[in-house]
Amino acid sequence: MVKKISRSFKYVYLALMILFLYIPILYLIVFSFNNFSTGSGKRISYANLGLWKGFTLHNYTTLFSGEAGQALLLTLEVAGITSILATLIGTAAAIGIYSMKKRSRNLILNASQLPMVNPDLVTGITFMMLFAFVNTLLVSLSLKQIGDIAKLLIAHISFSIPYVIFSVMPRLRQSSDLLYEAAMDLGCSPMQALFKAVIPDIMPGITSGFVMALTMSLDDFVVSYFVSDLRSVLSVYIYSAARGAKGVNPALATVIFIPLVTLLLVVNLRRIAKEREYEIQNKKVKLKDKGGK
Amino acid sequence: MKRKFFAYPYIVWMILFIVAPMLFIFYYSVNVGGQWTITKAWATLSDAGKWKILWTSVDMAFKTTLICLLLGYPIAYILSNMKKTVAGFLSVLFFVPMWMNFVLRTYAWQAILEYFLPNLLGMKDGTLTGTEAAVLMVLVYNFLPFMIMPLYNTLAKLDKSLLEAARDLGANSFLTFVRVVLPLSVPGIVSGITMVFIPAITAFTVPALIGNGKYYLYGNEIELAFKTLSGQGDYAVGSTLSIILLICVVVSTIIMNYFDKDQKQGGQMW
């Protein structure tokens, strides 16, 4: 009896916490179907995001027509280029650092932790000041200034590379040097051995580094906010719209949330299914062992 | 073949874009428009109001971390005791919000606290934003998954036979928890605290959106110094404030590392 109560209490607690975490997301999704037109005209104001005025799909049809669409496009562009370049530079760096002597290796790895330990706020303002300094220098030389997109790219690539290095590094440590030597013995040139033997072996690390860089870039708000002036990514758009009078179109929540949940659930359910299979097989093996004896 | 050449592009990149930018904090704190001066930095340092806000922020970060720990530990503990498949699914549910754009989630809380709840409670022209409690709640909301994740990872890896041993030796479930589970989960607690406390000191998005101009934190002071509406902000003030913030972060990291190491040595002794 006591056990039953404590068990149901556990489930109630978990349910309440999950509810707490999902309340704002569900709130936005519900209100994304709300009619926001004010007065008689076609003017839309998302400011009063708490008053239900009737069902409409209008918010979805206009979602990406304005600034939000441009911001989303820029977010995807920056994230795409960032993740590719950060993976290339980071993987090459990991291979290079791995072959270094212990002292220089540790020095570089420690320095690489700097952007991971640094608070976003500090990373953001340091980049802001760097670009301000460089731009004033460029102006005094009457050259073209660095634009927002280049600034965003440089900043995003910089804070993503360490995550790639630290995902590839453990894989390199696991991978055997013999693999490389075997490829050479079988007639590969050093380059070929690298690309045909070493790279495929560390591929899982490279892939997870790529995914890390992609999510870091997609998720970033603080650094982008300080770095960019005129054009920026989606989260910066949301921030300035949220502080402005007009508000944010709540339909954004749905279009971000639904693909995200689907993706995460598919990936994780596959992992869980594999674990389950493994468990069942383990049990079978154990049963067989017992039967054999 | 000299493979270490592969690292050179990164080393150049790192010096240009990771190490060099850090130096600009120090450069701009004592250089105003090309002139070397410490008057602005000194004025900022001797401004009692700034120190008061710093204290408010540290206090807020402390409260946020404590509440996250108290709410998150039971969650991680319950999850770690469930069947692996169920726990796997539920833990995904807990971590999904982490991946959702956090500015958007904070905006949702702004809407709930500013319009929905006051309407529901019948408060005429009332708003629940702009209070310490509101900012604290949304900070807890944002950082809770970051506390649960390391705790769950540590607790899930815990060797269950140790619990059986404790029980065999006569400990009841409460004693087992206090004497076995809790000490063994200290690494998770430490990394959870690090993952919440440091971002919480530097938080400026939540107070900006939920504080409603009435309640703000140290991060907002820095934001204000750098991002004024009229173009270029005051870099000298902002840089000085950032140096103080960096010192706070470094000190708390050192304290955390100390506890972490302490635990590791202690663990070996037992």
Q: Write the pLDDT tens digit of every residue in A158-204.
A: 999 999 999 999 888 888 778 888 888 888 888 888 888 888 889 99
Sequence-distant contacts of B23-28: CB under 8 A, at least 24 apart:
B24/A126, B24/A129, B24/A130, B24/A133, B24/B239, B25/A122, B25/A125, B25/A126, B25/A129, B25/B239, B25/B242, B25/B243, B25/B246, B26/B239, B26/B243, B27/A129, B27/A133, B27/B239, B28/A129, B28/B235, B28/B236, B28/B238, B28/B239
> Pick from A25, A89, A125: which is nearest to B108 by CB?
A25
| Residue B82, token pair as written in the block | 């469930």
- pLDDT score recorded for residue B254: 86
Q: Of A132, A158, A260, which is closest to B100 when you measure between CB atoms?
A: A260
Which residues in A lie closer than 8 A to residue B95 (C-beta atoms)? 264
CB-CB: which of A50, A248, A265 is closest to B107?
A248
Contact A253 B17 (CB under 8 A): no
What span, in angstroms and rounded, lies between the C-alpha atoms of B113 and A201?
52
Q: Integer distance in angstroms from the first to the last C-alpha of chain B? A: 48
Side chain identity, residue B58: V
A50 contacts in chain B (CB < 8 Å):
111-112, 114-119
Sign (positive or negative) of CA dihedral B137, B138, B140, B144: positive
Q: Which residues on chain B are in Cβ contact (under 8 Å) with A99?
A: 2-4, 6
Q: Do B109 and A24 touch (CB under 8 A)?
A: yes
Question: Best of B12, B15, B17 to disrupt the A interface by mutation (most A CBs within 10 Å)?
Answer: B17
Question: What value does the mean pLDDT take over residues B180-203?
Answer: 90
Task: Determine what percent of chain B is predicted with pLDDT higher than 70.
Answer: 93
Distance, in angstroms, between B163 CA and closest chain A CA? 18
Give DSSP secondary structure letters for A52-79. Answer: ---B-SHHHHSTTTSHHHHHHHHHHHHH
Percentage of chain A modeled with pLDDT above 70: 94
Q: How far is A57 from chain B (nearest CA, A)?
A: 19
Backbone angles phi, psi at B214, to 5 degrees: -95, -30
Is the CB of B201 less than 8 angstroms away from the CB of A119? yes
Residue A261: partners with Cβ closer than 8 Å, 6 or more residues away? B96
CB contact under 8 A, B205 and A13: no
Exposed e or buried b per residue across A88-120, where buried means at least 16 C-beta atoms within 10 angstroms of its C-beta? bbbbbbbbbbbbbeeeebeebbeebeebeebbb
Asked whether the beta carbons of residue B111 and residue A49 sit closer than 8 angstroms, the reply is: yes
pLDDT (tens digit, 9 = 90+) per residue, A199-245? 888 999 999 999 999 989 998 999 999 998 888 899 999 998 888 87
ipTM attached to this prediction = 0.87
Residues 6 or more apart in contact with residue B13 via CB below 8 angstroms: A89, A157, A158, A161
Shortest CA distance from A241: residue in chain B: B107
Highest-pLDDT range among B142-146, B237-241, B251-255: B142-146
Q: Which of B16, B19, B24, B86 to mutate to test the interface with A (most CBs of A within 10 A)?
A: B24
Exposure b/e, B113-152, CB count within 10 A at least 16 = b: bbbbbbeeeeeeeebbbbbeebbbbbbbbbbbbbbbbbbb
From A134, A195, A205, select the one nearest A163 (Cα to Cα): A205
Question: Least CB-CB distance to B222: which of A125, A161, A247?
Answer: A125
State chain A's mean pLDDT as an integer: 86
Cα A59 from chain centroid? Answer: 26
- The confidence band for B232, taking pLDDT boundaries of 50, 70 and 90, is low
What tokens appear for A162 in the block?
């360490």
pTM of the model: 0.87
In sequence order, the β-bridge partners of residue A44 are A37
Is A176 in a helix, a strand, or coil?
coil
* Segment B225-252 mean pLDDT: 81
Q: pLDDT by residue (tens digit) across A248-276?
A: 888 888 888 888 888 888 887 887 788 77
pLDDT of residue B160: 83
Kindly determine whether residue B17 and residue A154, on different chains, have CB atoms separated by under 8 Å.
yes
Q: Which residue of A has its CA nearest to B111?
A: A49
List the beta bridge partners of residue A55: A34
Q: What number is the average pLDDT over the span A105-119?
A: 85
Q: Cα distance from A288 to chain B (closest Cα, Å)?
A: 23
Structure tokens that stand for B165 in this block: 């041993």
Whether B242 and A122 lie within 8 Å, measured CB to CB: yes
Cβ <8 Å between B21 and A130: yes
Higher pLDDT, B231 or B4: B4
Q: Is B230 exposed, middle or buried (0-12, 13-18, 19+ CB in 10 A)?
A: exposed
| Greater model confidence, A44 or B57 | B57
What pLDDT sits at residue B150?
92
Q: pLDDT digit string (tens) for A131-162?
A: 988 988 898 888 888 888 999 999 999 999 99
Q: Are A93 and B10 in contact (CB under 8 A)?
A: yes
Mean pLDDT highest for which of B82-86, B197-201, B223-227? B197-201
Test A234 with B101 for CB contact under 8 angstroms: yes
Examine the pLDDT at B270 and tell me if it is beyond 90.
no
CA distance B193 to chain A (A): 14
- Cβ neighbours of B6 in A, within 8 Å: 92-93, 95-96, 99
* pLDDT computed for residue A260 by the predictor: 85
Q: How close is the nearest chain A Cα to the Cα of B66, in Å?
A: 16
Mean pLDDT over A13-41 rounds to 87
Element (DSSP H or E) covering residue B32: strand B31-32
Is the C-alpha dihedral spanning A128, A132, A135, A141 positive or negative?
Answer: negative
Digit-coded pLDDT (tens) for B150-177: 999 999 888 888 888 888 888 888 888 8
How confident is the model at residue A289, as a pLDDT? Answer: 67
Of A17, A50, A130, the CB nearest to B71: A17
Binary contact (B202, A121; C-beta < 8 A):
yes
Structure tokens, B73: 């530990």
pLDDT of residue A45: 73
Of the partner residues A100, A133, A264, the one whose CB lies closest to the CB of residue B99: A264
Structural domains in chain B plus CATH codes = 46-269 (1.10.3720.10)
User: Lowest-pLDDT range, A51-55, B148-152, B205-209?
Assistant: A51-55
Q: Which amino acid is at B210?
A: I
Instruction: Name residues whose C-beta falls within 8 Å of residue B180's C-beta, 6 or more positions apart in sequence.
Output: B162, B163, B166, B171
Contacts with B264 (C-beta within 8 Å, 6 or more apart), sequence order:
B187
- Tell me the shortest Cα–Cα distance from A96 to chain B, in angstroms: 4
| DSSP type of residue B30 | S
Is pLDDT of A290 > 70?
no
Q: Hey, is A230 helix, strand or coil? A: coil
Is A243 close to B18, i.e. CB distance below 8 A?
A: no
Q: State the pLDDT at residue B233.
A: 66
Kindly tell me if the per-residue pLDDT of A293 is higher than 70. Answer: no
**β-bridge partners, B35:** B32
